Structure 1
Amino acid sequence: MNIFGAMYDKTMQWSRHRFAVFWLCLVSFIEAIFFPVPPDVMLIPMSMAKPKDALKLAFYTALASVMGGMIGYGLGYYAFDFVQGYIIKLGYQPYWDTAISWFEKWGILVVFVAGFSPIPYKIFTIAAGVMQMAFLPFIATAFISRLARFVLVAKLAAWGGEKFAAKLRKSIELIGWSVVVLAVMAYLILR
């Protein structure tokens, strides 16, 4: 079955769409609050399609992520009782427990690490509000961290450019099915 090749082609097509930057910013904004898909899924093909715009795209992604992070912070600060049920329902409780313990040990440094962590970023933004971190240091640290991550991702994708996109397209079915198999195995092992 060639599912991933068609999805890859569509993603590359969307990365060149005239509203692609808007959608990138929207995904980055809502990912910091509740959305499960990281903005890298859009940033990478957009940076491969337009390598000269990679830094600009990374900046927009980081800015939108931090703006979404402010909303996540507010939810943690003002409405955690409401949000807590969703954390449990979505299976984020282990991530939540880890984030809280990290905040208790390392404080503001956790926000910097969160930009690169495999733990969903929204967990950290909400936890920062619950822990009542100082808001301005939270924003500054989040921006530095998110910008560093997205610049790294965008520049690596841009460096590969169209040549890498073509090579990736040839292997996308193998990569896609490998990820599915690994996800199923992880689920079976961790449940």
Structure 2
Amino acid sequence: MKIFSPLYARTMAWSRHRRAPWFLGGLSFAESSFFPIPPDVMLAPMCLANPRRAMWFALLTTLASVAGGVLGYVIGYFAFDAIEPWLRETRYWAAYEQAVAWFDTWGFWAIFVAGFSPIPYKVFTIAGGVASMALAPFVLASLVGRGARFFLVAGLMAWGGERMEAVLHRYVDRLGWATVAVVVVGALIYSL
């Protein structure tokens, strides 16, 4: 059953849309402070669809993400008391507590690691504000960590380019169903 092929084709068409960079910038900004979907889901197909602009997309994603991170910092610094009850009720509370512990131990490096890794960066931006981390090191760590991640994604997608796009299109249904199977097996193991 070919469910994933049409979704893949639609995603590639959207990634070539003239306003796609605006959407990428908005998503990157929002993800760094409050939105749960990482910008990589837009960045990767946009770089595949237009490899010559991949580095521009990575720069746009990095700058918008860091700007959103500063908003997260401001939220943590000025408004944490207002969001704390909500945050306690979400799945992010444990990550927030871990982020605070990391700040106590590593400071600058906590933001760098969160910026590069799949750890929820937004939790660390808010924790950075709560911890009153100095803003200049916060921004520097965010630029380096987020930039390394997004330029790596963009570089790999640009390197693969049209060849990778064609291969993915050919195997996307198999990959999609394999991913579903892994998620189901993981959920079953987790529930046991």
TM range (shorter): over 0.9
Aligned to 2:36: 36
User: CA RMSD, aligned part only?
Assistant: 1.6
Find the residue that maps to 2:55 and give its secondary structure.
helix
Other-structure match for 1:70: 70
Helix, strand or coil for the counterpart of 2:69?
Answer: helix
Opposite residue 113 of structure 1, the aligned amino acid is V
Change (3 A) 1:22 1:133: same
Are 1:109 and 2:119 an aligned pair? no
Query: What are the equivalent positions in structure 2 for 1:1-191 lying under 5 Å apart?
Result: 1-190=1-190
Q: Classify 1:88/1:182 alpha carbon distance in 2 versus 1 (closer, same or farther; 3 Å).
A: farther
Q: Percent identity?
A: 49
Quick one: structure 1 residues 188 and 89, their matched pair in 2 at CA, closer, same or farther if it must change by over 3 Å? farther
Displacement after TM superposition at 1:117 (Å): 1.8
Give the gaps of 5 or more residues in structure 2: none
Q: Which amino acid aligns with 1:172?
A: V
> Shift in Å at residue 178 of structure 1?
2.6
Q: Distance in 2 between the 1:166 and 1:43 partners? A: 18
Output the CA distance in 2 between the equivalents of 1:187 and 1:58.
Answer: 33
Give the AA of the match of 1:70.
Answer: V
CA drift of 1:190 comes to 4.3
Q: CA deviation at 1:79?
A: 1.1
Instruction: Give the direction of change, closer, same or farther, for the CA distance of 1:174–1:97 in structure 2 (3 Å limit).
Output: farther
Give 1:11 shift.
Answer: 0.8
Letter in 2 for 1:166: A
Per-residue deviation at 1:162? 1.1
* CA distance in structure 1 between the aligned counterparts of 2:41 and 2:190, rounded to whole angstroms: 25
Code of the residue aligned with 1:56 in structure 2: it is W
The 2-side partners of 1:87 and 1:185 are apart by 29
Kindly provide the CA deviation profile for residues 1-54 of structure 1, in whole angstroms up to 9, marking residues without a partner as x: 422222111110011000010000000000001111110111111111111111
TM-score, with length taken from structure 1: 0.93
Figure out how many residues of one structure are paired with residues of the other and give that number: 191
- For 2:116, what is the secondary structure of its paired residue? coil
Structure 1: distance between partners of 2:111 and 2:146 = 9
CA distance in 2 between partners of 1:90 and 1:29 (Å): 21
Report if aligned partners of 2:76, 2:125 keep a CA contact under 8 Å in 1: yes
Moved more, 156-165 or 178-187: 178-187
Change (3 A) 1:19 1:137: same
How far, CA to CA, are the matches of 2:41 and 2:18 in structure 1? 17
Unaligned runs of 5+ in 1: none
